[in-house]
Amino acid sequence: MEPRFHRTVPDDDTHERDVCSHCGFVAYQNPKIVVGSVVRSGDGILLCKRAIEPRKGFWTLPAGYLEQNETPEQGARREAYEEACARIILSDLLAVYSVPRLSQVQLIYRSVLDGSYAAGPESEAVDIYRFETIPWDDIAFPSVHWALRHDEWVHGGGAGHPFRNPDGQTGDAP
């Protein structure tokens, strides 16, 4: 028998969900977890120019969706390798950002480059920028702005991380 779903509030729940009319299975939809890192190399930060949508041609951090059966740390290292052919050494969690419009929770780590780098299949280019030379007008996403500024704060001796979204910001505008 093929499942037939209908929208209803399951018993002992508070939200309307897709529920199978035959067996009562509840098809929960949960936020996506994005993992990534601010990768330092000497006085610079590794950025990737996106070769894919959304925001193709704009600069970002190596980051992407966490895979099943993967820790956030493994995911952050994998994303750095996939997007920048880079091996990285993670240090600590920099920030946890929320982008409710996209149902995303983003875990961004601090890390250092361990060797070489090159553009991976999802990147048009990869380069290292000193903070003052970052192409700010060509940054892909609000959370990349936040992470770069939060990392610079910590790198300069500031304390208080992990950070979260700046007050009143939800990541809705590029």
Tens of pLDDT along 62-100? 999 999 999 999 999 999 999 999 999 999 999 999 999
Could you tell me if 83 and 62 are in contact, meaning their C-beta atoms sit under 8 angstroms apart?
Answer: yes
Range of the domain at 26: 1-30
Amino acid at 65: Y
Give the per-residue pLDDT at 170: 87
| 70/102 same-domain check | yes
With respect to residue 42, please indicate whether it lies within any of the assigned structural domains: yes
**pLDDT reading at 161 higher than 70:** yes
Burial class (CB in 10 A: 0-12, 13-18, 19+), 95: buried
| 64/98 same-domain check | yes
Q: What's the chain's average pLDDT?
A: 94
| 14/98 same-domain check | no
| 148/73 same-domain check | yes
Could you tell me if 116 and 85 are in contact, meaning their C-beta atoms sit under 8 angstroms apart?
Answer: yes
| 21/103 same-domain check | no
| 57/125 same-domain check | yes
| 85/126 same-domain check | yes
Identify which of 104, 138, 99, 117 has the alpha carbon closest to the alpha carbon of residue 39. Answer: 117
With respect to residue 170, please indicate whether it lies within any of the assigned structural domains: no
Identify which of 135, 53, 49, 136 has the alpha carbon closest to the alpha carbon of residue 84. Answer: 49
The CATH number assigned to the domain holding 138 equals 3.90.79.10
